[in-house]
Chains A and B, each alone.
Chain A
């Protein structure tokens, strides 16, 4: 049996959309339960941390470039550099580092 690509895309889109919108539209008020409130408070930090590390080291071609980008990014963020500046800094560190390694 052959399947229609548009139908595949539609099924994937419908499921993605439901996953993303159901909690936001169903949970209308402030959650009062202290455990759930605390849990949801920690969720973004944990998710972002887990996504960042160790992926930042495996994403570039050379692991050391990723380690240096992470270090530079953390220091810059600690010093209060803005988001775009930190993103640009990480890219530059990887580019310079990989160029240096190849020479």
Chain B
């Protein structure tokens, strides 16, 4: 019981910078939501249930276009497909005894950032850690959207700009210690940087959504890495242990 409480507190603590970053980003999402005709409550509800930046942006464009419900389902499937990969990865992070209810609610809470800090935990994942992060990050995201609808962009651009890199800072905190501990992981991360940069420069991929690019690159690069450098079980622990400091 105490361990769960501890995990929840840790999740809450790690969720604070995520919530701050979300709040700022959700503001701009609120402006789009307003264009789509959502009132603050609808914006809040949409963000609480969907909590995905690219996904919700796409959602609002579908509403603006007054498109069929089936199109909404398809667009959300495509923009959020990366969460399916994250969900697969998290399934291996749980103790095999973890109940279906916990699996469902942790799955529901997956966002890029919440996934990032959850997968970065040492050893198996205690669901309460993820719940702690969700408890602060999701209201931050939802309130940000609602207030964005009401107030528009009241934060000065310099603050929004500074806060926009907070999330990337957190990703760096997860991948760099792992790269330091395991050179293959380091090589895979550098390769990912380079390929991602190259793809962003190739105009051929311009019409593809960022989310789609992320999913495709992940499948290809992680696939190559798995084929070339199969992981032995003891290696998994070295990289995970290195995240102890970061988390």
Contacts and interface: CB of A to CB of B under 8 A. Distances in A.
A23 to B, nearest CB: 4
Given A48-B171, A77-B173, A78-B180, A27 B91 contact: yes
Contacts of A42: 185, 188, 221-222, 225-226, 231
B100 interface: yes
Interface residues of B, number: 104
Given A80-B177, A82-B245, A19 B87 contact: yes
Interface in A53-80: 53-56, 59-61, 65-66, 69-70, 73-74, 77-78, 80
A7 interface: yes
Contacts of A90: 165-166, 168-169, 172
B89 A40 contact: yes
Nearest to B38: A5
Contact of A15 (B73, B85, B120): B73
B80 A24 contact: no
A31 to B, nearest CB: 6
B101 to A, nearest CB: 10
B158 A99 contact: yes
A7 B46 CA distance: 11
Contacts of A35: 226-227, 230
A3 B168 CA distance: 37
Given A44-B116, A56-B165, A77 B246 contact: yes
A27 B38 CA distance: 37
A8 B68 CA distance: 9
Contact of B82 (A45, A47, A88): A47
Given A14-B73, A20-B87, A20-B109, 7 more contacts: A2-B66, A12-B73, A15-B73, A23-B107, A24-B90, A44-B115, A86-B173
28 contacts: A2-B66, A6-B42, A8-B69, A13-B46, A16-B76, A21-B87, A21-B104, A21-B108, A23-B107, A24-B103, A27-B91, A34-B230, A38-B229, A40-B88, A46-B225, A47-B112, A48-B112, A49-B175, A52-B168, A52-B171, A54-B196, A59-B161, A77-B177, A80-B246, A81-B173, A84-B13, A90-B165, A98-B162
